[in-house]
Amino acid sequence: MGNDITGVDLKGKRVVLDPKIVGAGVQEGLGYIFRCDSGFGCNPNCSGQAVFGEFEVDQEATRINRGDILRLATEDERDYGEVKR
């Protein structure tokens, strides 16, 4: 898959999160897109899993685990907030 995060430095990237960790009641589309800002989990060569950043939908800052990320967001998803399943 072209959006696989294996070996990818995630700092500054927008990613699609696993809907299971986002929670019920989250708006479709942007609710699953997360911007990665920092943390050892951004680096593919570190043993740490923490990724700090914010949700695109409401800019809520939080921490996630690298394992909660399904894939990189596509250009369309980044531009329009529509997550393709």
For residue 77, the model assigns a pLDDT of 78
The pLDDT of residue 20:
82
Cα separation of 20 and 61, whole Å? 18
Q: Are strands 61-65 and 50-55 parallel, antiparallel or unpaired?
A: antiparallel
> Which are the contacts of 27, defined by CB distance < 8 A and separation ≥ 6?
57
41-52 pLDDT, tens digit each: 999 999 999 999
Instruction: State residue 38's pLDDT score.
Output: 97
Q: Which pLDDT belongs to residue 30? A: 60
| Contact by Cβ (8 Å): 16, 78 | no
Residue 63, pLDDT > 50, answer yes
* Residue whose pair of structure tokens reads 């990320």 in the numeric block: 69
pLDDT at 26: 58
Distance between start and end Cα atoms, the chain: 14
Residue 36, strand partner residues:
53
What residue ranges do the domains of the chain occupy? 14-80
- In this predicted structure, what is the pLDDT of residue 24? 59
Rounded Cα–Cα distance for residues 83 and 75 (Å): 11
Query: How does pLDDT run across 8-43, given as a tens digit for each residue?
Result: 999 999 999 988 887 655 555 566 889 999 999 999
